[in-house]
C-alpha cells in the first residue's frame, strides 16, 4: 500500500473525529457499567460504519479492506471494545453480502448496515475453539428446513444482536461437513447464557448462544451445504485485519496519552519528557506500531486483490499487530507510573481490552500455524 489517497485520509479523519466525540468520553464508564451502547453504534452506522464492506447497491459503504483497517484503527482510539464489536458485526454483514442470495441480502442487509439488527458470528464452541473444524453443533434436515442443536461459546454481542451467523455440522466429520446458517434472535429454541465476567471488553456482552431444536426454513442456509467452513474462514481473514487494526488504534491512543503525561509530569527538577531514556522508550513504541501498521496495510492490500498469500499475510498481521498493540499499551501504563493503574486514567482499560485480541479471531499460536503451513506446504 502506497501513500493514502485523499479519500482515505478523509475516512480516517472523520472516523477518528467520531471516536473522539462519541466513544472516548464514555469509554471508562461503559467499561465500568458493562454498558453496550447500541445507540452509539447506530450513530456510527450514519457514517456508513455498519456496512463497511457491503456493496453500495446493497446499502453499504463499498469500502476496501485497505479502507477498513483505517476505519477500525481510528474507531479504536476512542474505545477498542466497541470498535472490535463493530469489526465483528461488519464481518457478518460482509458474509451475508458475499454469500447470500438476493432474497437473503434484501432481508438482512438493511438492518445490518443500519445496526438496527446487530450481527454476531457463531463459530467457537465450548469444546472447539482453535480446532474449529471439530465443531459439534448439528443441523439436521427436517422436510424443506433444518433443525439446529448445539452451544456456541464466547459470542460477542450475544443477546443484544438480532442476526447470528451460525456454523453447524450438516455432514460428516471435518471441515467439509459444515454449513452456515442465519439464525434470528426471536427464533424459538434460541437462548443465551449469562454475560461472561471478563478481564476486558466489558462494553460489549459475551455470552453462550444455545440452540435447542431451533427450526429454520430452507432460506436460512447461507451459501451451499458443506461450504460453511470455507465461508467462515473467508470471513475470518477480514476479521483478523479488523482486530489487528483495533489493537493499533488502542495502542496509538495509549502512546499519545503517555506522551502527554510525560510532557506534564516533573521529577527531579525536570519534565519527564526531557529524559532521553524515556524519549527512547516512546520512539521504540512508535516504531513498533508503524512496523505493525505497514504489515497490516500490506495484508489488507493482498486480500483486496485476491492474492493467494492473503490468508498467510492476514495471519502475520494479526499476530504481529495484536502482540505489538498489547505491548505498547502495557509500556504506556508503565510510563504513567501508579496513575496508569488507576481506572480513571483509562490506560489500564486499554491494556485489558487489547489483551484478548491475542486470543480471538484465532489465537496467535494458530496464526503461527497458518504462517508455518504457508512456508512448509504442510496440510
Q: Which residues are catalytic?
A: 361
Residue whose C-alpha is closest to residue 215's, from 182, 192, 189, 181: 189
Q: CA-to-CA distance for 65 and 305, rounded, in angstroms?
A: 10
> What is the Cα Rg of the chain in Å?
21
d(CA 78, CA 29) in angstroms, rounded, equals 13
Residues 6+ apart with CB under 8 A from 89: 41, 50, 112, 115, 118, 119, 120, 157, 161
**Would you call 2 exposed, middle or buried from its count of C-beta atoms within 10 A (0-12, 13-18, 19+)?**
exposed
From residue 8, alpha-carbon distances to 65, 89, 277 in Å are 11, 21, 35
Identify the H or E element spanning 228. helix 228-264
Give the β-pairing of 119-122 and 163-169: parallel
- CB atoms < 10 A from the CB of 144, how many? 8
DSSP string, 33-49: HT---HHHHHHHHTTTT
Q: At what angle do helices 276-304 and 310-335 cross, to 10 degrees?
A: 160
Could you tell me if 147 and 89 are in contact, meaning their C-beta atoms sit under 8 angstroms apart? no
Treating both helix axes as pointing N-terminal to C-terminal, what angle do 102-114 and 38-45 enclose, rounded to 10 degrees? 110
Amino acid at each position: 500500500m502506497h501513500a493514502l489517497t485523499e479519500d482515505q485520509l478523509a475516512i480516517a479523519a472523520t472516523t477518528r473525529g467520531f471516536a473522539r466525540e462519541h466513544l472516548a468520553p464514555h469509554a471508562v464508564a461503559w467499561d465500568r457499567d458493562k454498558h453496550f451502547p447500541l445507540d452509539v453504534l447506530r450513530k456510527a452506522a450514519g457514517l456508513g460504519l455498519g456496512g463497511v464492506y457491503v456493496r453500495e447497491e446493497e446499502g453499504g459503504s463499498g469500502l476496501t479492506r485497505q479502507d477498513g483497517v483505517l476505519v477500525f484503527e481510528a474507531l479504536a482510539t476512542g474505545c477498542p471494545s466497541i470498535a472490535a464489536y463493530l469489526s465483528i458485526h461488519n464481518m457478518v454483514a460482509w458474509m451475508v453480502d458475499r454469500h447470500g442470495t438476493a432474497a437473503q441480502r434484501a432481508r438482512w442487509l438493511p438492518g445490518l448496515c443500519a445496526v438496527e439488527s446487530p450481527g454476531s458470528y457463531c463459530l467457537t464452541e465450548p469444546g472447539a475453539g482453535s480446532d474449529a473444524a471439530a465443531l459439534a453443533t448439528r443441523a439436521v434436515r427436517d422436510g424443506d428446513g433444518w433443525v439446529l442443536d448445539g452451544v456456541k461459546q464466547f459470542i460477542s454481542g450475544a443477546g443484544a444482536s438480532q442476526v447470528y451467523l451460525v456454523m453447524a455440522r450438516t455432514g460428516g466429520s471435518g471441515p467439509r461437513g459444515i454449513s452456515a446458517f442465519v439464525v434470528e434472535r426471536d427464533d424459538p429454541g434460541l437462548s443465551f447464557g449469562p454475560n461472561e465476567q471478563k478481564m476486558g471488553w466489558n462494553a460489549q456482552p459475551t455470552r453462550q448462544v444455545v440452540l435447542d431444536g431451533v427450526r429454520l426454513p430452507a432460506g436460512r442456509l447461507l451459501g451451499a451445504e458443506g461450504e460453511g467452513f470455507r465461508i467462515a474462514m473467508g470471513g475470518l481473514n477480514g476479521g483478523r485485519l479488523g482486530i489487528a487494526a483495533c489493537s493499533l488504534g488502542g495502542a496509538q491512543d495509549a502512546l499519545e496519552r503517555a506522551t502527554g503525561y510525560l510532557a506534564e509530569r516533573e521529577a527531579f527538577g525536570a519534565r519527564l519528557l526531557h529524559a532521553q531514556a524515556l524519549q527512547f522508550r516512546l520512539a521504540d513504541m512508535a516504531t513498533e506500531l508503524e512496523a505493525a501498521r505497514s504489515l497490516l496495510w500490506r495484508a489488507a492490500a493482498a486480500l483486496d486483490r485476491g492474492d493467494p498469500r492473503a490468508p498467510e499475510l492476514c495471519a502475520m498481521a494479526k499476530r504481529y499487530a495484536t502482540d505489538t498493540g498489547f505491548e505498547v499499551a502495557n509500556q504506556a501504563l508503565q510510563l504513567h507510573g501508579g496513575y496508569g493503574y488507576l481506572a480513571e486514567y483509562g490506560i489500564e482499560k486499554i491494556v485489558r481490552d487489547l489483551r484478548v485480541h491475542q486470543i480471538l479471531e484465532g489465537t496467535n499460536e494458530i496464526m503461527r500455524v497458518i504462517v508455518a503451513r504457508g512456508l512448509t506446504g504442510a496440510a
